[in-house]
Amino acid sequence: MITIKDVARRANVSFTTVSHVINKTRPVSTDTVEKVNAAIVELGYLPSHVGRALQSSRTRTIGMIVTTTSNPFFGQVVHGVERACFERGYALIICNTDDVADHLDVYMDTLVSKRVDAVVVMTSNATPEFFATVREQRRVPVVAIDAPPGSVGSLVSDNSVAGGRLVGEFLLKRGFTRIACLSGLDWHPRMRDRISGVREVLAAQGLTLADRDIVHSSISMAAGQAAAIGLIERPAADRPEAIFALADVLAIGAMHAARQVGLSIPEDISIIGYDDIEFAAHTFPPLTTVRQPADLIGATAANAALDHLENGTPLPELIMLTPELVVRETTR
């Protein structure tokens, strides 16, 4: 096995000089750098990342815990985290909890044992108690995405209340008054925010969004289809004119449900989603939705952690990104 001492002998320099060239810990003359690099190539030397991590107390590795990578929105957020890590010379370890609460603690322990430098958490199972335990016991910087406000020291999210308002204002301008919502689990903070935004706009016009018009389910296309059936099979006079699905995968499921009972979109019923996943522009008809910048959310969370690690920048308490309405063809 080729070692750093072999490189030093081949380049006719000291062991410490080779170390400074590899780790960039001290200025070294151009000629010496060239000799060392030539020796590394000739010998096929590979630096030991484990050894360098032990010396510097850094592994240049970030961990990410995510609910599921099968949801396209989460996949886009992961892409943003990974892109930011790659651009700054960090590796990313992804742990998928499959929405199982017990997996969260197991994966956090695993990431800490792997000596990751920081963790990005995006899972609905991350409670305030979990974040408190991380801060007090694990001593690893954590940036959360979509966690409840105040539950974690650093949070990145879209402004879901504003996103809900966009939908409410759009539907009222189009003349809709019978509106229903397909939501994820009722305790999820972003779901509550989106409903709150819609209700705020409707209330200003003397309208209400009744609890019976909000259907909660898991977040998947199949769940959206099953949840929507109960709404669209109501008698015509009671059936919602528009369904606001609080995630695009729920909206796509609702589109399948409408076709299942013979309704046309948008002639018989209008559907709006939330997220603007890549599929949204390619449904038939293309889905009207609220775009939250998934890739940017991920990159922002990663860069907040990396700025803290590299520059000592305090972790931001809250970064809130602005959503926008994308009008396509599922709304009349």
**Count, residues in the chain:** 332
**All domains of the chain, ordered by start, with CATH?**
4-47 (1.10.260.40), 56-158+294-321 (3.40.50.2300), 160-292 (3.40.50.2300)
pTM check: above 0.95 = no
| Whole-number pLDDT of residue 49 | 54
Reduce the DSSP state of residue 248 to 3 states and report it: helix
Cα separation of 304 and 111, whole Å? 19
Residue owning tokens 């030539």: 38
| Whole-number pLDDT of residue 150 | 76
| Whole-number pLDDT of residue 48 | 62
pLDDT tens across the length of the chain (332 residues): 788 888 899 999 998 898 888 777 788 899 999 998 898 888 888 766 555 554 556 788 999 999 888 889 999 999 999 999 999 989 999 999 987 878 888 999 899 888 899 999 998 777 777 887 777 766 788 999 988 777 788 999 999 999 999 999 999 999 999 999 999 888 788 999 999 999 999 999 999 999 999 999 989 999 999 999 999 999 989 999 999 999 999 999 999 999 999 999 999 999 999 999 999 999 999 999 999 999 999 999 999 999 999 899 999 999 999 999 999 999 98
Residue type, 332: R
| Whole-number pLDDT of residue 296 | 96
Cα separation of 238 and 255, whole Å? 19
Cα separation of 215 and 207, whole Å? 18
Token reading at 162: 């504003």
Q: At what angle are helices 30-43 and 15-23 packed, to 10 degrees?
A: 90
Q: In this structure, how many other beta carbons lie within 10 angstroms of the beta carbon of residue 252?
A: 24
CA torsion sign for 258, 262, 263, 265 is: positive
CB 141 within 8 A of CB 312: no
Residue owning tokens 């998928």: 96
Residue 109 CA to its chain's centroid (Å): 21
Burial class of residue 163, CB neighbours in 10 A (0-12, 13-18, 19+): buried
Extended beta strands in 74-149, E state: 91-96, 118-122, 142-145
